[in-house]
Structure 1
Amino acid sequence: PVPSVLPQQAELGKPRERSCSLPGINFNYGLYIRGLDGGVPEAIGHWNVFKQQPTCPHELTRNYIAMNRGAVKAGLVTARENLHYRQLNDIRISDQDDRRLKKEPPSLPPNMTFGIRARPSTPFFDLLQHRYQQLWVQEQKATQKAIKLEKKQKVILGKLYETRSSQLRKYKPPVGLDALWHMPHFQKAGASEGFCPSTGASQSNGQRAQVVSPDPAGARKGPLSLSNTPHP
């Protein structure tokens, strides 16, 4: 007979359950990783120390100073000859000499602390009490007092009298003011003729020039007194 599929009915007085049932107490959630080292009990019960791998022997540094000295003594000059000499005579520096040439690290005290020192705390009480202002005022007063004391102890000299050597040191010989030099052409004109130093002409010469060339003011017109006569 075919079983009839009926919808699941909820219990009387309870809502319908829509969740799955949880696994048992011994169920572990998540992925299981199989440990190959024995896990925590193996780490607690044993102390496996990492074995250091054997290192290759340290290669000594070549002593180029000794090889160059030997090449010079042998009479080798060119680079190719030096290369062959170094291949045949490979001189190395011993461990003791190499250790002497290398700088050893500086010895530091065991209680040394590395890093930056912490900034000192801010003196709030001194700031609130204006302590720094008081110290500055005291320093200024002490400085002024020292200056006044130095002025009192300073010897005040009397009046200094002039001696012959000091007067000769300050003496300046008088300089004679000679007459200014004039050209001989200008010196011929007398004062009666009305000599004009700017143009170099006398009054009589000016009058004769006006008679020969009359004033052209009548031919000039306009605010700028420009001539309207045609130019040739």
Structure 2
Amino acid sequence: MGNSEEEMFYQLDYDYNYTYVDYLDETLLSYQNMHSVEALVIAFVHIIICILGFVGNSLVIVTYAFYKSTKSMTDVYLLNVAIADLLFVVSLPLIVYNELSPWLMGPVACKLLRGSYSVNLYTGMLLLACISADHYIAIVQTRRSFRMRSLVYSRLICAVVWASALLLSVPTFYFYSWCQPSYSMDPFIEEEEIDQTSGPTQYICEFRFTDETTALNTKMAVPSTQLAVGFFLPLLVMVCCYTAVIVTPA
């Protein structure tokens, strides 16, 4: 009787371990399949965006370069928007690559990639605000539009926009670093097992700080500034300008 109970216990323990291991294998396989499909879809969508964005913005730049007629203030703004968007579509594949796999291109490329993305964010949105202000001046302030809408002013404003974008992007250039992650990039590996795993050292491109205070302040200041200057300010300018254009009698 005792031997039968012991055999039954071992059989139940074997069945449990076999079922648990089999469950882990199925879960890991399911995760890998989902991750592969997600990566494939993301790559396909971003390839389409990059191709269309590169072709479209390149055509804008070529058209501006070979268009011999007198250029307007809006044309200068559109040229700079195209340049900013071209920077974005060129850096987009690398950003997606950085999100899906370890970063292999070194610290300089890491800072340039993330910094150029930040510059593009500010420049593109601020230039759209400038275009809406130009439309407002051309339609509502018609009498002063010839004096205010000169190429000299447009180039000066674009220079100020680019300089402001670079200045606002300094924290991104400075704090993004090429570093070894303190966590596993595989969700099925526990944090305490990271040091025990064998293989080549993996690096990522992300924010890295020397102390918690700097980390907290920067992680609050950078997104807040991007939201305020890169979204709400241009949105406010565009709403005000186009509202004035709409209510202006023909």
Shorter-chain TM-score range: under 0.3
Larger Rg: 1
- TM-score, normalised to structure 2, is 0.16
More helix by share: 2
- TM-score, normalised to structure 1, is 0.17
